[in-house]
Structure 1
Amino acid sequence: MTKTVVPARTPAGAQEWIVHSSEDEPWTIRAVAPDGRSFEADGADLFLALQEVRRQIEQQGVLLCCNGARANARPSPLASASGGGMVYLLPSARNPGPEDLVPLLSPAPARHVSPVAEQEAFWSAYQSSTRSTLRTLSPVAPLARLARRVRRSPAWVAEEKEGVTMWRRASRG
């Protein structure tokens, strides 16, 4: 299990929760509150497991502030098949590209996260928009766009400190 510190928005204010995620099947997420309460779920991938954990903790008035909790976050079919540890932040004005791919559990600003119901509503609306979901989330489309681009996208770097994984964005040269 990988251990990650994830900020959370709670009725009592901001907190840091510890989120444990499996590194292979069965895909499991366990979120541990500062007071020791623990919430755990399994899923077909880490994204779906995270959604189930989020449903549990939302009943307590808590929102995890990570990329996987953004309304516009969704793994591609390829990312889902490999565990769902990376998600696309689906842009509204264009198709997603490699620059929109982010780690599931890396921190996100509290103003950008939403409850699971809002995330699902966004996804339903996105799928029924004029875009083709298959074209939008195709694992080949981002590679084709990347081949046409000169500029390289930023990379996410995991740093281990005392057994805890922290994510930071690093520019590629």
Structure 2
Amino acid sequence: MTHGQEHEIAAQDGEPQTRWSEEITLQTVEPNGVARQVTVYLGQPSKAVIALLDSDSRTEISGSDYLDCLMQARMLLERQDRRLCCQGARPNVHPSGQLRQFTNGRMAYIRPLDPGSATSQTVDIFAPALPNEVVTLSNQREALMAAWNARHPNNQI
């Protein structure tokens, strides 16, 4: 991972070049265990844009914040039956509204699996994760709802 350097991806079909503030190499994993490398380029911290480079393809994704961009990238990869191996794809990782706002969606909490535990660590959603730690968007949503319901039995969702 490279911090503090700007990267440019060559313009294609007359598109303007985008300046990138960070480059992150991650892997994707398929259900049969096949892993492939992808590169995620992050736009300037004040913007919510990423580029996903996968073999010869390039997809630029913009959203309301980095988490929104990551979710769109994960959806794209899941259509190819691949999971992105990053902290933001773990079943117990999710930001609070305030943390999401203050970090432009870049940081999230690792929610403890034990309903009695009140401690939560923060993590960069683009930091690498092991293939056995990540799940699909649907499974992540189910895990977050189950954790909420376990903590708030009188206010279930």
Map 1:137-148 to 2 at 5 A: none
Per the normalisation by structure 1, the TM-score is 0.67
Alpha carbons of structure 1 residues 12 and 114: separation in structure 2 relative to 1, 3 Å = closer
Q: CA deviation at 1:43?
A: 2.3
- Is the CA contact (8 Å cut-off) linking 1:39 and 1:57 kept in structure 2? no
In 2, the alpha carbon distance for the partners of 1:110 and 1:18 equals 16
Shift of the 64–40 alpha-carbon distance from structure 1 to 2, 3 Å rule, reads same
**1:13-52 equivalent positions in 2, closer than 5 A:** 13-33=34-54, 35-52=55-72
* Alpha-carbon RMSD: 2.0
- Give yes or no for the alignment of 1:92 onto 2:113: yes
Moved >6 Å (runs of 4+): none
Cα 1:76–1:62 change in 2 (3 A) is same
Give the partner amino acid of 1:118: N
Deviations 1:112-154 (A, max 9, x none): 100111111122222333349xxxxxxxxxxxxxxxxxxxxxx
Q: What is the one-letter code of the residue matched to 2:61?
A: A
Contact kept? 1:70, 1:113, Cα under 8 Å: yes
* Post-superposition offset of 1:111: 0.3
Within 1, Cα distance between the matches of 2:145 and 2:29?
25
Instruction: Give the counterpart letter for 2:118 in structure 1.
Output: N
Alpha-carbon spacing, 1:60–1:73, altered in 2? closer, same or farther (3 Å): same
CA deviations 1:76-113 (Å, max 9, x no partner) are: 2232112111111111111233xx21111111110010
Indicate the SS of the match to 2:151.
coil
Instruction: Indicate if the aligned counterparts of 1:8 and 1:64 stay in contact, CA closer than 8 A.
Output: yes
Cα distance in 1 for partners of 2:59, 2:110 equals: 25
Structure 2 residue runs of 5 or longer lacking an equivalent are 1-19
1:20-75 deviation line (CA, Å, top 9, x unaligned): 12233431222211x22223322222112101110011111111101011111112
Is this contact kept in 2: 1:21–1:29, CA < 8 A? Answer: yes
User: Which has the higher relative contact order, 1 or 2, with Cα contacts under 8 A spaced 6 or more apart?
Assistant: 1
Distance 2:37 2:135 in 1: 17
Q: How does 1:6-155 map to 2 (within 5 A)?
A: 6-10=26-30, 13-33=34-54, 35-81=55-101, 82-93=103-114, 94-97=117-120, 100-131=121-152
The alignment covers a number of residue pairs equal to 129
1:76–1:87 CA contact under 8 A, matched in 2: yes
The answer for the alignment partner of 2:6 in structure 1 is none
Instruction: Evaluate the alpha carbon distance shift between residue 43 and residue 126 of structure 1 in structure 2; reply closer, same or farther with a 3 A threshold.
Output: farther
1:12 positional shift: 7.5
Same amino acid, percent of matched pairs? 22
